[in-house]
Structures are given as structure tokens and as C-alpha cells.
Amino acid sequence: MKILFVCHRFPFPPSRGGKIRPFNIIRHLGQSASVTVASLVRSEDELEQGRGIAEHCARYIAEPVGSIGTKMRMVLQLATSQPSSLGYFYSPALKRRIDRELETGSYDLIFVHCSSAAQYVESWPEIPRILDFGDMDSEKWMLYAQNRYFPLSLGYWLEAVKLRRVEKRLAAAFDLSSCTTRAELETLQSLGVAAETGWFPNGVDSEYFSPATETYDPDLICFTGRFDYFPNQRGAVYFSREVLPLIRQRRPDARFTIVGAEPPAFIRELAELPGVEVTGTVPDIRSYVRNAAVSVAPLDIARGTQNKILEAMAMGVPVVASEQASKGVDAVAGEHILVAGNTREYADAVVQLLEDRALRTGFADRARARVLSNHSWAESMKRVDVLVERCMAGRASRR
């Protein structure tokens, strides 16, 4: 089988959420099919690092896109029915290269990750097509609209409305659409389209994210992620200013470490608060997570799977998460993960884990076991194979 795989972010190295899922799909499909990858790169550094994808596919197309052209397309689409996010991920040069590839390549299947990349192959209905939405982005923008002040709230609302219209059109046009969780699947199916749907979870590399062999710090709490991302910023500020002081009233030596790339000035300034550390970019987050007694995901805006939760669980570090963040993980609250709904519940859950070593060990062991059973990439890719078979069989039956 010959497959064209199109995604909105260049999928190598798989170092962030938007790259991990497509990379694992490509790596899996490439074991039994000839896969050509097509995507954008936004810098020379990303292009150079991305060359490593060649080990996992037959060939790849990496089209550079400049920031000026990208911003112009986003602004121009404000006055149209098209979402600005589609403009951000669009390159006329990449569209031409993909069209030439499909004209000459005799492809059996087009596999697209993310709705923003579907625009490159909408004009090729004669080839079987799968669209992996991942997360339903229109819902994310609507959550932004509900949590930002005017006029930003209006902008996010408008983007959500536009994008939902596009998602509905795409889900009807593609042979099969998929997403990351059961909750996202319900949103996808609520669009009311007749096309095939399915879901497969994100996995985690359980060998790479393995438990520590050394002891942990019984007073350390960590929060990982990219901090140029608004939901992570909100979570970091909330936990530092609201939750940590309550914890330190009961456990004065408790400390909170914010670990991740691109923290803006107001996040770095949180380090001035008692017990708070902000690391910025680190070469390897694993040592920080493994050294912590508890990992937290205090996100009031969360869609899809939070890889930070899966990675901590795989490393045997108990997680206290918001209800929204926990929905993206196939885990049972109170058994594999602790869920908090307000400031007091966060503080109580964290203090229990800091003070009760046996309780912590129980959650750590059950969390690791749950990841191995329900969030392995091998098991997830078996679901991908089923979806591909359904797509091809459905197209054959219609012919």
C-alpha cells in the first residue's frame, strides 16, 4: 500500500504534543506500507532536525513557510468564512507539491492528521481519505472564548464557529474521521455526519518514561508543559497563587516546580513566590518528574489527551488533575489518578500523597500498570489498522 500522510506540524522529532501522535502513526504505517510524509517547517533548525523522519518513512516533503506570509493569511481570513487557523497552517507551495505528488504517485490512501491540514487534500475525493482530527479544535476555541476578556473572547468565539462549520464539512467529505478519546468522538459524532468515525488513544513510550530507581523528594510537586500555551499558563498561575499556599500551611517545606519551555515574563515571575521554581527549557523533563512526589495538571481548559499526565503515570508518579484534563486519559479517578474540582480539593489530594508514602506507592503502581494496559502505542496502532481496513473496505463497497 502507498500512503500520503499530511500533518500540520512536521512530525520529527516527536518532542511536543502536536508531533507525538502523527510520528507514531507514521512509524507504524511505515512498517508495512510505503509512506510519504508532507508537512510544513517554520525554521531552518526545524528543517534540519526533521531529517530524522527519513528513518521512518519512504520519503518526505518539508515545505518552509515564513512568518510574514502566515500572519497575512490569518489576518485576511478574519473577514471571510474561513478560520484564521487554517491560514496559519497553509502554504500555497506545499499545496502545489502535494498536488503534483498525488497526480503522479498512484496513492492508495491519504491519511491526514489535524483538520488544519485537510485543506491540502480536499480536492482529491477519488482517493480514499482518513482524517484524524486528534482533538476537535472548535471546542478548544470555544473554551478560550469563555475564559478570555473582550475583545479576545469575541475573536475566539468567531474562530470556533467558523472552525466547527469546517469540521462538519470535512467529516462528511472524508471516508473516515477519527480522534483521540471517547469524549472527542462524542463531539465528532454530534456533528451529525453520515461518514465513518472511530477513535484511538494516544500512547506513551513506557520504556523511555520508566520509573525512577532512586528515591524521590517527598516535598516536591511538579507541573510540566510548554508555557507559551495559554491553558498551561493559567494552570501554573492558579496553582502557584491559590493552591500552593494552602499546601504550605500544612506542609511548610512543600515546593512547586514549573518545568517547560518558553515561559513568558509573568510565568518566570512566579519564582518570586515562596516555594515556587520556574526552570524554563530543560534538556530532559524525566529527571524533574521522577524526583517529584506528585505531578499536577491543574488545567481548566483541556481537550484531548494530556501527554504530561500519561508520562507521569508511566514514570510511576501520582497525578492530581482537573476533571477536564483527566477526561483525556483512560484511567479511573480515585484508582489510577486523583481528580480535583476546586482549590481545597487540589490541596487535600496533594497533601495526602505527600504525607502518606503507602498511598503514594499504591497510586504510582496502579498508574504505571494502567498506562501499560490502556495507553501503549502498540495497542493503539492496532486500532489504526482496523480504521484503515474499514476505510478501504467502505470505499470498495461503494465502488
pLDDT at 14: 92
Which of 253, 259, 268, 228 minimizes the C-alpha distance to 244?
253
Provide the β-strand partners of residue 295: 222, 319
Q: Give the model confidence (pLDDT) of 235-290 as tens digits.
A: 999 999 999 999 999 999 999 999 999 999 999 999 999 999 999 999 999 999 99
| Alpha-carbon span 81 to 96, nearest angstrom | 23
Consecutive 10-residue runs of the chain (399 residues): their mean pLDDT? 97 89 97 97 94 97 87 81 91 96 93 97 96 93 86 91 95 95 91 87 93 93 95 96 98 97 97 97 95 96 86 97 92 96 97 97 97 93 96 80
**Architecture of the CATH domain 2-203+377-398:** 3-Layer(aba) Sandwich (3.40)
DSSP code string of 282-335: -S-THHHHHH-SEEEE--SS--S--HHHHHHHHTT--EEEEHHHHTTS---BTT
Largest pairwise CA distance in the chain: 69
Taking the CB of residue 274, how many other CB atoms lie within 10 A of it?
Answer: 12
Taking the CB of residue 269, how many other CB atoms lie within 10 A of it?
Answer: 14
| Alpha-carbon span 178 to 188, nearest angstrom | 8
CATH of 220-374, one of 3.40.190.10, 3.40.50.2000, 2.60.120.640, 1.10.540.10: 3.40.50.2000
The reply to whether 2-203+377-398 and 220-374 are identical in fold is yes
| Alpha-carbon span 68 to 73, nearest angstrom | 9
The answer to whether 329 and 396 have CB atoms below 8 angstroms apart is no
Taking the CB of residue 385, how many other CB atoms lie within 10 A of it?
Answer: 13
Q: Strands (DSSP E) along 233-389, which ranges?
A: 255-259, 276-280, 294-297, 319-322, 338-340
pLDDT at 67: 79
pLDDT at 79: 76
pLDDT at 279: 97
Ranges of each domain in the chain: 2-203+377-398, 220-374
| Alpha-carbon span 354 to 221, nearest angstrom | 9
Q: Give the model confidence (pLDDT) of 154-198 as tens digits.
A: 998 999 999 999 999 999 999 999 999 888 999 999 988 868 899
